[in-house]
Amino acid sequence: MQSVLETAVDRVVGVLETTIDATGVIFHRTPATARARMADDYFDLMSAVPSGVRLEALTDTPVLEFDVELTRDLLPHMTSPGSTFDLVVDGVLQDPVRAAENLVIVDPATLEMEFRPAGPATVRFELGEGVAERRVEIWFPASSMLKLLDVRVATGTSLRPAPAGAPLWVHHGSSISQCSQADRPTETWPATVARETGRSLLNLAIGGHCQLDQFMARTIRDLPASAISLELGTNVVNFDTMRERTFASAFHGFLDTVRDGHPNTPIAIVTPIICPVAEQRPGPTLFSTDYQVRTVERPSELAAGALSLTRVREVLVREVDVRVKEGDTKLSVIDGLSLFGPGDIQDMTDGLHPNAAGYRKMAARFLALAGPHGPLG
């Protein structure tokens, strides 16, 4: 086997930035300036979770080996089956491959962390003998931070760039779109939609950090997107970061920036999916001792302008209507409750996040609403 790490890094797509040091390669889904200014370890971790990130190449090797170091955060009661990689050969999805990961156990009450190391892992993909060249995709885990240590192919074989040309779909959202609870990386709802519609996915959903940040608006503005979708509002309620006045203004500022680079690109605004405890009550949301999400009591004097998920949906619909009346006919709304609503609560893990079956439902419903005649048509 021979190392092709540098070549492989150049074949990775679905990523904004790559950082390389003596210990390995990390693929980030946020810009470096934002990470430096935020100075937030959790933001850095979520940025380095490669949801939607994959290697795309033409190769004649019968086997591919990846040396990786994976780190996953879990609540104390949770266990992990390992981080899952997906292999697609000439468009055909193969059996998943799993690897052990370092675990960071986070106590939701105290935020204390316990690190349980597992060390590096080698992931091996058997492609088969006797084929001159085939198109290969390796989808990285959507559940764990990944550091790539090495990539090897059989001696005398190579990785060539896969032909480009699929239109770029840029999606931004919260953990609802990062989809750590999906069974495998091709079954996050954005990945499923992208594969079904022939789109090249750039998933900029960052768990806990969909806050209408200008750094993300500028990032999307400068990308060659043919379609854009924005899953908005859930994290604003989760962390109680805005009142109605600031939320509406931040929404318009975000879209104004994106439209500077995409005056005619279809943009779909996805309103929040259901979270029963926050439908009529404002955030912040916290985890109870049973690891189910809850809201906190707050005095009535603080109620004016506070945002529940119901109110967030109403504000987003209202403000999109304002922009459409101004002439933005390429802007539309997808109701989050139509993707995952009151009838789907049995497919939630913690009262906030869908489970794997829930994400499969979201993908099927998003396909029906956004394509072929919607923004991804």
**How many separate domains does the chain show?**
2
**Which pLDDT belongs to residue 110?**
62
| Residue 282 confidence (pLDDT) | 94
Please check whether residues 352 and 296 belong to one and the same domain: yes
Categorize the per-residue pLDDT at 108 as very low, low, confident or very high, splitting at 50, 70 and 90: low
Across 5-14, 108-117, 345-354, least confident range: 108-117
224 has a pLDDT exceeding 80: yes
In a shared domain, residues 299 and 235: yes
Q: Is residue 252 part of a domain?
A: yes
Q: In 3D, which of 5, 96, 18 has the Cα closest to residue 50?
A: 18
CATH of the domain at 237: 3.40.50.1110
Name the token pair of 148.
């790539």
Cα(327)–Cα(341) distance, rounded to whole angstroms? 31
Q: What is the pLDDT of residues 115-142, one digit of tens each?
A: 777 788 899 999 988 778 999 999 999 9
Residue 308 lies in a domain: yes
- Flag whether 268 is in a domain: yes
pLDDT at 159: 94
How far apart are alpha carbons 213 and 224 in whole angstroms?
A: 20
Model pTM?
Answer: 0.94
d(CA 40, CA 301): 32
| Residue numbers of the domain that contains 84 | 2-161
Tell whether 376 is covered by a domain: no
Beta bridge partner(s), residue 85: 97
Q: Worst-scoring range by mean pLDDT, 20-29, 272-281, 288-297, 315-324?
A: 288-297
Instruction: Pull the structure tokens for residue 203.
Output: 């998933």
C-beta separation of 235 from 247 below 8 A: no
User: Which of the listed residues 129, 161, 193 is the one where a domain comes to its end?
Assistant: 161
Domain assignment present for 375: no
Average pLDDT over residues 322-335: 97
